[in-house]
Structure 1
Amino acid sequence: MTAHPGAQRQVHLVAHFPGVNSTTVWSDPAAGSQIDFASFRHFAQTAERGFFDYIFLAEGLRVREHAGRIHDLDVAGRPATLAIITAMAAVTERIGVVGTLTSTFNEPVELARQLASIDHLSGGRVGWNVVTSSDAFHGGNFRRGGFLPYPERYERAEEFVRIAKHLWDAWADDALVADARRGRFADPARIARVAHRGPHFSVDTTPTVPRSPQGYPVIVQAGDSPAGRDFAAANAEVIFTRHSTFEEGLAFSTDVHARLAAAGRRSDSLLILPGATFIVGDTDADALELSREVAHAQISPQTALAWLEAIWGRDLSDLDLDGPLPIEEPAETVLRQGQTSTAIDRRAHAARLRERAEAHGLSAREVVIAETAQHTFVGAPETVADEINRYVQGGASDGFVLVPHLVPAGLDAFVDRVVPILQERGVYRTAYETPANPRPTLRSALGLPAPQPPAPLEVTAA
Structure 2
Amino acid sequence: MSNNPQRQLHLGAFLFQVGHHVAAWRYPDTDAHGILNHDFYENFAKTAERGKFDMIFLADTLAVIDRYQTSIKHTVTVRPEPLTLLAYLSGVTERIGLAATVSTTYHEPYNLAREFSTLDHLSGGRAAWNVVTSGRDEEAHNFSKSKHPDHDQRYERAREFVDVVTALWDSWEDDAIISDRDAGLFGNPQKVHELHHRGPEFSVRGPLNLPRSPQGRPVIIQAGASDTGQHLAAQTAEVVFTAWQTLEEAQRFYASVKSLAVQYGRSPDEVKIMPGIFPIIGATEEEAREKEALLQQQVLPAVGLSMLSASLGVDLTGYPLDGPLPELPELEQINGGKSRFQLVADMARRENLTIRQLMYRVTGARGHRTISGTPVQIADQLEEWFTQGACDGFNIMPPYLPGGLEEFVEKIIPELQERGLFRTEYTGTTLREHLGLVRPPSRFESNAASGQ
User: Normalising to structure 1: TM-score of the pair?
Assistant: 0.84
Q: Deviations over 1:15-54 (max 9, x none)?
A: 0001397546111242342121111111100000000000
The secondary structure found in structure 2 opposite 1:106 is coil
TM-superposed CA distance for 1:108, in Å, is 0.3
| Partners of 2:21 and 2:363 within 8 A in 1 | no
| Partners of 1:260 and 1:267 within 8 A in 2 | yes
TM-superposed CA distance for 1:351, in Å, is 8.8
**Aligned residue number for residue 151 of structure 1:** 152
TM-superposed CA distance for 1:305, in Å, is 2.3
| Partners of 2:23 and 2:295 within 8 A in 1 | no
| Partners of 1:325 and 1:354 within 8 A in 2 | no
Q: Deviations over 1:179-236 (max 9, x none)?
A: 79xx983344531112111000011123111101111100000111000000000000
**Aligned residue number for residue 126 of structure 1:** 127
The secondary structure found in structure 2 opposite 1:429 is coil
**Aligned residue number for residue 9 of structure 1:** 7
Q: Deviations over 1:368-393 (max 9, x none)?
A: 21465465221111111222122112
For these two proteins, the number of residue pairs brought into alignment is 432
| Partners of 1:35 and 1:78 within 8 A in 2 | no
Change over 3 Å in CA distance of 1:46–1:178 after alignment to 2: farther
The secondary structure found in structure 2 opposite 1:365 is helix
The secondary structure found in structure 2 opposite 1:97 is strand
**Which of 380, 387, 402 is the matching residue for 1:393?**
387
| Partners of 1:9 and 1:393 within 8 A in 2 | no
Counterpart mapping for 1:52-67 below 5 A:
52-67=53-68
| Partners of 2:364 and 2:399 within 8 A in 1 | no
Change over 3 Å in CA distance of 1:282–1:418 after alignment to 2: same
| Partners of 2:304 and 2:362 within 8 A in 1 | no
| Partners of 2:60 and 2:79 within 8 A in 1 | no
TM-superposed CA distance for 1:92, in Å, is 0.5
- Quote the Cα distance in structure 2 between the aligned partners of 1:408 and 1:305: 27
**Aligned residue number for residue 93 of structure 1:** 94
The secondary structure found in structure 2 opposite 1:66 is coil
| Partners of 1:233 and 1:263 within 8 A in 2 | yes
**Aligned residue number for residue 356 of structure 1:** 353
User: Normalising to structure 2: TM-score of the pair?
Assistant: 0.85
- Quote the Cα distance in structure 1 between the aligned partners of 2:126 and 2:178: 18
- Quote the Cα distance in structure 1 between the aligned partners of 2:236 and 2:39: 35
**Residue 406 of structure 2 is aligned to residue 406 of structure 1:** no
TM-superposed CA distance for 1:420, in Å, is 1.0
- Quote the Cα distance in structure 2 between the aligned partners of 1:286 and 1:395: 31
TM-superposed CA distance for 1:258, in Å, is 1.0
Change over 3 Å in CA distance of 1:73–1:265 after alignment to 2: farther
- Quote the Cα distance in structure 2 between the aligned partners of 1:312 and 1:227: 20
**Aligned residue number for residue 450 of structure 2:** none
TM-superposed CA distance for 1:72, in Å, is 6.1
Counterpart mapping for 1:218-229 below 5 A:
218-229=219-230
The secondary structure found in structure 2 opposite 1:289 is helix
Counterpart mapping for 1:197-212 below 5 A:
197-212=198-213
Counterpart mapping for 1:10-159 below 5 A:
10-19=8-17, 22-23=21-22, 25-29=24-28, 30-32=30-32, 33-68=34-69, 70=71, 74-144=75-145, 146-159=147-160
**Aligned residue number for residue 215 of structure 2:** 214
| Partners of 2:194 and 2:207 within 8 A in 1 | yes
Change over 3 Å in CA distance of 1:172–1:279 after alignment to 2: same
Change over 3 Å in CA distance of 1:8–1:309 after alignment to 2: same
Match for 1:305: what amino acid?
Answer: L
- Quote the Cα distance in structure 1 between the aligned partners of 2:348 and 2:14: 33
Match for 1:15: what amino acid?
Answer: A
**Aligned residue number for residue 305 of structure 1:** 305
Q: Deviations over 1:146-168 (max 9, x none)?
A: 32222111111111111111111
Instruction: Determine what percentage of the aligned residue pairs are the same residue.
Output: 38
Structure 2 stretches of 5 or more lacking a match?
A: 448-452
- Quote the Cα distance in structure 2 between the aligned partners of 1:52 and 1:332: 39
TM-superposed CA distance for 1:292, in Å, is 2.8
**Residue 257 of structure 2 is aligned to residue 260 of structure 1:** no
TM-superposed CA distance for 1:6, in Å, is 5.3
Greater Cα shift, 286-295 or 85-94? 286-295
Change over 3 Å in CA distance of 1:246–1:208 after alignment to 2: same
| Partners of 1:63 and 1:74 within 8 A in 2 | no
| Partners of 1:22 and 1:73 within 8 A in 2 | no
Q: CA RMSD in A?
A: 3.4
**Aligned residue number for residue 460 of structure 1:** none
- Quote the Cα distance in structure 2 between the aligned partners of 1:329 and 1:382: 40
Match for 1:293: what amino acid?
Answer: L
Structure 1 stretches of 5 or more lacking a match?
A: 358-363, 458-462
